[in-house]
Amino acid sequence: MAGGSAIRGSRVGAGPMGEAERGEAAPRVWVSYWCAAGHETRPSFAEEAAVLPPETWDCPRCGLPAGQDRENPPSAPKNEPYKTHLAYVKERRSDTEGAELLEEALAALRERRGTVS
């Protein structure tokens, strides 16, 4: 037995939302952006005199940065590989400095061991 209202999922007073209830839509401007893969995307922005659209936009198809110049799109960012802590230490210290620090630390440990036992 089917019962209930024929209009399900609505409430009293619900109706189509139109421009009368929402207000006037802001004037829009569409800007073309091209990525290095040749994809074009055209996001729209509110048209305001003092505000310029961004110079770059992320391509929704490949994720590369896209620019407004079709002939000269921005290049892909360079991803540097993950560096370990040891790689950062080796950038700051030479092998001889590392050996000196190791000797100092070992001497301090030996001295402590001698006084504790």
67 in Cβ contact with 102 (< 8 Å): no
List residues forming the annotated binding site for Zn(2+): 35, 39, 59, 62
Global pTM reads: 0.52
Of the candidates 59, 60, 30, 34, the one whose C-alpha atom is nearest the C-alpha of residue 42 is: 30
**DSSP letter, residue 108:** H
pLDDT for 48-99, tens place per residue? 888 889 999 999 999 999 999 999 999 988 888 899 998 888 889 898 998 9
32 in Cβ contact with 55 (< 8 Å): no
List residues forming the annotated binding site: 35, 39, 59, 62
CATH value of 28-67 in 3.30.420.340, 1.10.510.10, 2.40.420.20, 2.20.28.270: 2.20.28.270
Domain boundaries, the chain: 28-67, 81-116
